[in-house]
Every structure is written in structure tokens, then in C-alpha cells.
């Protein structure tokens, strides 16, 4: 018996792509378009809110707060989502605040998935879903979004859709939950009302919980609209929706996220949270509450950060699509989020990947790109289950929530490489 080994429930789980690629960036110092965070300042008011909180005379703001969510934060989250979902959300019983969306997802999985439960995961998926389901004892069932050729030279994230028959076949009496992510990381797909309705119908038919990761809920490009599956008829009672202050206010390092849903489902998350995290940072939650109070007062207006940030990103998205195309890749234009997937396969004949010996070609390509061109992207096969990884091999993921200067530099580096190789 190996007393010092990894417990059985974690065995077989690999080092995540983030660990490997953060190390790669440290070793080669490329221009980093890999990791998903902004390299520019968050809105001024959220920084001054934190500053104000830290200096506040109320010294209790430095102490533990209510375990499942700081009162001021759950109060404004309940106002905001009651308005968006169209029903009254109880701040104490129907919300959990945790350490980022990761924490909320963890409490969701541990609080609902039991040994042998089947959980449907739509691919490509944010990579932590699979290990979390496995750790909870669940059995993941993967259903990939399938590419439908739109006969246009421009590829779009909406060209990837669910095959209704394939999805339906994945449901059975053992299905406990389905995990969806809209807007999707890495694809940038924003699920349409029809698609969500199809998922909702199956959830109702098979009495399944819907875990909806909506961390990019405010990053949607016109004319697309973000639809919350919890707001569809009959779905509130079976949906847990996950959000992130990191993505909402461009403060990924603050690591505050939440889940909301009906009291009976959120109760189970509260139990897990109380016995693992217990409570999150008080000053950060207070400052985020101030940020939300400000945004709630101007929701939908031009001066609302939730309106202005996607407008600012739209230009960066177009700029990136342009320089990737010039380099010879085929970008897939996202409808949401801040990542762009591109098909790099037409470059394959021009480059020598023989020095890289990873199992999947997108790993070889991204490593080659970091070492030889000086740009870092992420291999999308990391967002697929083992048997579907080939679906990601022709692709690379780049992040465009970066300063214009940085994107310009990336364009120059790629252009210079292209010229040297022509
Ligand atoms: C789809 C998705 N879900 C969850 C998370 C985790 O968010 P947080 O940083 O709030 O834990 C991320 C972060 O990149 C993400 O892309």
C-alpha cells in the first residue's frame, strides 16, 4: 500500500494544460496570447472600491464574513439576476459565492454528482469539468459540437452545432446532469434559444440537472444575445448557473465567483462549500458588490461596463482575425468570449514540427510556435475528451483581450515570420 500516493479518486488525472503552458512561457518568454486574462487595467471604479473598502472605518470588513456569500454581494447579485431571469431570487438560499467560478463549479459537482451518475459534457469544454466529474465519482458522457460547413470563406463559431440525435442518445435514466458553457470557451459559440430549448426539453424529459457555466455572459458580440437557460420555461427548478467576477470586471486574479439556482439545489452546494472553502475574502466581495451596484444602476446603457467592454473587444477580435488570416490561418469568428480559435492546417506543409513529439498535432504546433516564432497559443485538444481529441488537432486558441500594442506586436511577429518563409 502506497501511503504517500495520490488517492484513487484522483488517479489517472493529468497535469492540466495550464501548468504545462505556463512553464513553456516561463522557459521561452513568448508574446503570450495563451492564457485568458486582460493585460490592461480593470475599470477604475472597482480598484477605488477596493481601496475604499481597505481603508474603511468598519474594521469588520477585514474579518470573516457570512460563509456562503458576503451580505452586500449576495444582495446585489440577487437583484441583478432576479431582474435578468425574471423571478425573485432569495439571496441567502439561492446563491453561493465561492473562489471563482472554479469554486462554484466544484461545489456544484461535489454537491450533486454521486458514484455512477452519468454527466453529459458538451465539447469542446472548459478543461476542469471532466476531472471534477470523475473526482465526484461520476461518468462523463461527451457530446461534441459538430462543424457544419457554411459554404462561406469565413468560419464562424455558430457553424458548430449539436447533432440533435447524438445529444438525445446521450441521455438515459442514469443521467444526473448536463454541463453547458455559453458563451463557450474555447470556441466562442453562443448557444441560440432553439439550441437551449432542445437541451431544456431533454433535461425535463429525463429529469436532469443543468449546470450552466456562463462566466462570459457579458462578452457577447452584436447581434448575438446571451440567453440564460435558467430563464426558459420549467428550467429554473433544475438549473445551477455559474458566474465569475473575474470575467465580469476584468479582475481574474480576485477569484470570486458564484452559483445561483433554486434553494433545494443550492443547499447542496452550501454544504460542500461550508466544509471545504467555508468563506471567501470579505474586502474583495465588498468591492465587487460596489462594482455591481454601480453597473446595475446603468444596466443596458452605453456607459455600463457590460456594454462598453464587448464593444471594445469587438475591434480587437476583428484585428486578430485579420492578422491570423494574413498569416495563412483560418480564424473562426467567435460570437462571444475573448478567445479565437484558428485552423492552422494550411501552414503544415511550410513548417517542420519534427522536433516536437507530442501525441496531438495541436500540441506540436503550439510548442513550435512558441519556440520558433515567439507567440504562445493553447492547443484546443485540451478541451476534448481522449477519444475526441483529434477534433481539436488542426486548431489553436488565442486570447484577444490584450492591449492594442500587444496585438500589433503579435501581428508584426507573425508577418515577419511569414515573409521570412515565403
Ligand atoms: C468557461 C470557464 N469557466 C470557468 C472559468 C473559471 O473562472 P474563475 O477564474 O472565476 O474561477 C473559466 C476561466 O477561464 C472559464 O473559461
**Domains in the chain, CATH or no CATH each:** 8-42+306-420 (3.90.1150.10), 44-297 (3.40.640.10)
User: Strands 239-244 and 160-161, how do they pair?
Assistant: unpaired
242 CA to centre of ligand 1 in angstroms:
9
101 CA to centre of ligand 1 in angstroms:
5
With cell 462554484, the residue in question is 104
CA separation for the pair 313, 401 (Å, rounded): 7
Q: Is the CB of 126 under 6 A from ligand 1?
A: yes
Q: Is the CB of 125 under 6 A from ligand 1?
A: no
CA separation for the pair 405, 411 (Å, rounded): 10
Q: Are the C-beta atoms of 112 and 209 separated by less than 8 Å? A: yes
Return the axis-axis angle of helices 404-420 and 305-327, rounded to nearest 10°.
10
103 CA to centre of ligand 1 in angstroms:
10
pLDDT of residue 1: 79
Q: Where are the alpha helices (DSSP H) in 242-302?
A: 245-248, 263-274, 282-297
10 CA to centre of ligand 1 in angstroms:
21
| Ligand 1 atom closest to the CA of 257, numbered from 1 | 10
Contacts of 251 (CB under 8 A, 6+ apart): 42, 46, 245, 288
Take residue 406 and report the three cell numbers written for it.
500587444
3-state secondary structure 94-149: CEEEECHHHHHHHHHHHHHCCCCCEEEEEECCCCCHHHHHHHCCCEEEEEECEECC
> H or E segment at 259?
strand 257-260
| Ligand 1 atom closest to the CA of 256, numbered from 1 | 10
Of 161, 219, 159, nearest in space to 339 by CA = 219
Query: What residues does 257 pair with on adjacent strands?
Result: 98, 244
- Collect the ranges in the chain with pLDDT lower than 50: none
Q: C-alpha distances in angstroms, 227 versus 93, 109, 241, 252, 288? A: 23, 23, 12, 23, 23
pLDDT of residue 16: 85
> H or E segment at 44?
helix 44-55
CA separation for the pair 163, 329 (Å, rounded): 27
CA separation for the pair 212, 293 (Å, rounded): 24
Put simply, whether the predicted model's pTM sits higher than 0.95 gets the answer: yes
| Pocket probe mutation, ligand 1, options 126, 240, 241, max atoms within 8 Å of Cβ | 126
Q: Is the CB of 100 under 6 A from ligand 1?
A: yes
97 CA to centre of ligand 1 in angstroms:
14
349 CA to centre of ligand 1 in angstroms:
35
Return the axis-axis angle of helices 282-297 and 71-85, rounded to nearest 10°.
40
Q: Is the CB of 158 under 6 A from ligand 1?
A: no
Kindly report the number of other CB atoms within 10 A of residue 218's CB atom: 20
Nearest CA to ligand 1 atom 9: 100
Q: C-alpha distances in angstroms, 35 versus 39, 68, 228, 310? A: 10, 29, 26, 18
CA separation for the pair 400, 313 (Å, rounded): 8
Q: Is the CB of 188 under 6 A from ligand 1?
A: no
pLDDT of residue 11: 87
Q: Are the C-beta atoms of 341 and 186 separated by less than 8 Å? A: yes
**Size (the chain), residues:** 422
275 CA to centre of ligand 1 in angstroms:
22
pLDDT of residue 145: 98
Q: Is the CB of 288 under 6 A from ligand 1?
A: no
| Ligand 1 atom closest to the CA of 337, numbered from 1 | 16
251 CA to centre of ligand 1 in angstroms:
12
Of 188, 234, 241, nearest in space to 400 by CA = 188
Phi first, then psi: give them for residue 119, nearest 5 degrees. -130, 120
Of 117, 158, 155, 148, nearest in space to 135 by CA = 117
> H or E segment at 160?
strand 160-161
Query: What residues does 181 pair with on adjacent strands?
Result: 213
Q: Is the CB of 36 under 6 A from ligand 1?
A: yes
Q: Is the CB of 214 under 6 A from ligand 1?
A: no
Q: Is the CB of 185 under 6 A from ligand 1?
A: yes
Take residue 6 and report the three cell numbers written for it.
495520490
Amino acid at each position: 500500500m502506497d501511503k504517500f500516493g495520490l488517492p484513487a479518486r484522483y488517479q489517472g488525472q493529468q497535469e492540466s494544460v495550464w501548468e504545462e503552458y505556463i512553464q513553456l512561457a516561463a522557459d521561452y518568454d513568448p508574446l503570450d496570447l495563451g492564457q485568458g486574462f486582460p493585460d490592461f487595467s480593470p475599470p477604475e471604479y472597482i480598484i477605488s472600491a477596493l481601496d475604499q473598502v481597505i481603508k474603511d472605518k468598519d474594521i469588520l470588513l477585514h474579518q470573516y464574513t457570512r460563509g456562503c456569500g458576503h451580505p452586500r454581494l449576495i444582495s446585489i447579485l440577487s437583484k441583478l439576476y432576479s431582474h435578468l431571469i425574471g423571478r425573485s431570487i432569495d439571496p441567502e438560499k439561492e446563491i453561493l459565492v465561492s473562489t471563482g467560478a472554479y469554486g462554484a463549479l466544484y461545489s456544484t459537482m461535489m454537491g450533486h454528482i454521486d458514484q455512477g451518475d452519468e454527466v453529459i459534457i458538451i465539447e469542446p469544454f472548459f478543461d476542469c469539468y471532466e476531472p471534477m466529474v470523475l473526482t465526484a465519482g461520476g461518468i462523463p458522457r461527451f457530446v461534441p459540437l459538430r462543424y457544419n460547413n457554411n459554404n462561406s470563406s469565413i468560419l464562424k463559431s455558430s457553424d458548430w452545432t449539436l447533432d440533435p440525435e447524438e445529444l438525445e442518445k446521450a441521455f438515459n435514466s442514469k443521467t444526473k446532469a448536463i454541463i453547458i458553457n455559453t458563451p463557450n470557451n474555447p470556441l466562442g459559440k453562443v448557444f441560440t434559444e432553439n439550441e437551449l430549448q432542445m437541451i431544456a426539453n431533454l433535461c425535463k424529459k429525463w429529469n436532469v440537472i443543468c449546470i450552466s457555466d456562463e462566466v462570459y455572459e457579458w462578452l457577447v458580440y452584436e447581434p448575438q444575445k446571451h440567453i440564460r437557460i435558467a430563464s426558459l420555461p420549467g428550467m429554473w427548478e433544475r438549473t445551477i448557473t455559474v458566474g465569475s467576477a473575474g470575467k465580469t470586471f476584468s479582475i481574474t486574479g480576485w477569484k470570486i465567483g458564484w452559483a445561483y439556482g433554486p434553494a433545494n439545489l443550492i443547499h447542496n452546494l452550501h454544504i460542500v462549500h461550508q466544509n471545504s472553502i467555508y468563506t471567501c475574502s470579505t474586502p474583495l466581495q465588498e468591492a465587487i458588490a460596489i462594482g455591481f451596484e454601480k453597473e446595475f444602476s446603468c444596466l443596458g446603457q452605453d456607459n455600463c461596463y457590460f456594454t462598453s467592454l464587448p464593444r471594445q473587444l469587438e475591434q480587437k477580435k476583428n484585428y486578430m482575425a485579420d492578422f491570423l488570416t494574413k498569416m495563412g490561418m483560418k480564424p473562426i469568428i467567435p460570437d462571444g468570449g475573448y478567445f479565437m480559435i484558428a485552423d492552422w492546417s494550411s501552414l503544415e506543409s511550410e513548417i517542420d514540427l519534427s522536433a516536437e513529439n507530442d501525441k496531438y498535432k495541436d500540441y506540436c504546433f503550439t510548442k513550435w510556435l512558441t519556440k520558433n516564432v515567439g507567440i504562445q497559443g493553447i492547443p484546443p485538444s485540451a478541451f476534448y475528451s481522449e477519444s475526441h481529441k483529434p477534433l481539436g488537432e488542426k486548431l489553436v486558441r488565442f486570447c484577444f483581450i490584450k492591449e492594442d500594442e500587444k496585438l500589433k506586436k503579435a501581428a508584426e511577429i507573425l508577418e515577419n515570420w511569414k515573409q521570412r518563409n515565403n
